[in-house]
Amino acid sequence: MFEPTAEESLIRDFVRQVARKCGRDYWLAKAREGAFTEELWQELAAGGYLGMMIPREYGGGGLGMQQMAALLEEMSRQGIPLLILVVSNVMDALLIARHGSPEMKERYLPPLARGQTKFCFALTEPTSGSNSFRITTLARRDGDTYLLRGQKMFITGVDVADYLLVVARTVPYDQVKDKREGLSLFIVDRRAAGVEAQAQDIRILLPEKQFALFFDDVRVPRQNLVGEEGKASRYLFDALNPERISAGAVAVGLGHLVLEKAVAYAKERVVFDRPIGGHQGLQHPLAIAKTNLELAALMTRYAAWLFDRDEDAAPSANMAKFAAAEAATEACDLAVEVHGGSGFTGDMDIITLWPLIRMLRTVPVSREMILNYIGEHVLGLPRSY
């Protein structure tokens, strides 16, 4: 479990090679243009890495969350993270592979693995926030179709996606005895009549944009229902736990990136006739940041290992996301401090990373909700909210 597998070593080597062609400068240029990193996406597709978690019979690699976490961590460490990779080729691919019909798998998984199509994941709504059971987007039966009406927000990559994986209620919240019932999952063509997308003003440097989505009686064929009607809450953690593990991997990688910048600068920056890294006032915080990142990396790996064994990964996935986001934020703040005034310049490329790293403390699930989960489900304390 602790030793990197041969596959993981190959994955990291591959990412480093790709970063020589489509590296940090390329990623930054695309992010500043507001353009998708298509060349990087195609490099991943050509290497077979977009289909890593898709079963072999559908053109994928049949690998697990451990290998995907290695890919995401190394991409972030090289400064080229892609959030849509988590959404499309981890969360959505897993949900379709585990709960889709045979026809659905045949239709959607092979082009996902080849990089020919992309998916979004549409769950969050403006009025429900973290209380996903209270979503109001409704899909009502109309013959052989559903009519989808409602609103979503903070949806990644709608402009480059071909399909949306939408969580909607087929029974309104106030009509169910159990809040977990009545949720359903649908594949929706992004170009379908009645789908409207509006870009949101998110001030984070990323090549992927965030969107608000509006559904105005969008007609969805019944065969686009993933799994059973009203049972989606049972499926969601097949995506949400990997999402937390993925966030942990991304945070660990970004944390290492900024920490490496801080260490390099602390070695070369001379003040009062000696390198600033020789002062314990900097050396000790850097050592603590390194320790916390390595601890977070271990928890992320453990959560991925549990998920791949079909064991309960929820506690460790939540802890991994929490620990990694905290450690990465600590490392980034320290990296700015080590660089002094230079840390606020674009040339050092640290302050450019701060909003993204800080975002990981809040999304895909806030640190407070994670602590609520640990308190209730791990420690057995009374529900606090």
- What superfamily does domain 120-230 belong to in CATH? Butyryl-CoA Dehydrogenase, subunit A, domain 2 (2.40.110.10)
Half-sphere exposure of 136 (CA within 13 A, CB side): 9
Give CATH 1.20.140.10 domain extents, the chain. 234-378
The answer to whether 385 touches 372, Cβ cutoff 8 Å, is: yes
Give CATH 1.10.540.10 domain extents, the chain. 6-117
- What superfamily does domain 234-378 belong to in CATH? Butyryl-CoA Dehydrogenase, subunit A, domain 3 (1.20.140.10)
Chain center to CA of 300 = 13
Place of tokens 């969580």: 167
Residue 178 has a pLDDT of: 87
Spatial CA neighbour of 15 closest among 78, 84, 68: 78
Label residue 21 exposed, middle or buried (CB < 10 Å: 0-12, 13-18, 19+): exposed
The answer to whether 148 touches 188, Cβ cutoff 8 Å, is: yes
- Dihedral of alpha carbons 155, 157, 158, 159, sign: positive
* Bond prior to 364 in cis (omega within 30° of 0): yes
Spatial CA neighbour of 352 closest among 199, 156, 207, 160: 207
Is domain 6-117 in CATH 1.10.540.10, yes or no? Answer: yes
The answer to whether 207 touches 30, Cβ cutoff 8 Å, is: yes
Express each pLDDT in 319-342 by its tens digit.
999 999 999 999 999 999 999 999
The per-residue pLDDT string of the chain (385 residues; one tens digit each, 9 = 90 and over) reads 677 788 999 999 999 999 999 999 999 999 999 999 999 999 999 999 999 999 999 999 999 999 999 999 999 999 999 999 999 999 999 999 999 999 999 999 999 999 999 999 999 999 887 888 899 999 999 999 999 999 999 999 999 999 999 999 999 989 988 888 999 999 999 999 999 999 999 999 999 999 999 999 999 999 999 999 999 999 998 999 999 999 999 999 999 999 999 999 999 999 999 999 999 999 999 999 999 999 999 999 999 999 999 999 999 999 999 999 999 999 999 999 999 999 999 999 999 999 999 999 999 999 999 999 999 999 999 999 8
Residue 223 has a pLDDT of: 97
Residue 53, sorted as left (phi over 0), alpha (psi -120 to 50) or beta, turns out to be: alpha
Place of tokens 């006739």: 273
Helix-helix angle 232-268:65-77, to 10 degrees: 40
Residue 80 has a pLDDT of: 98
Place of tokens 């077979």: 48
- Distance (Å, whole) CA 353 – CA 346: 10
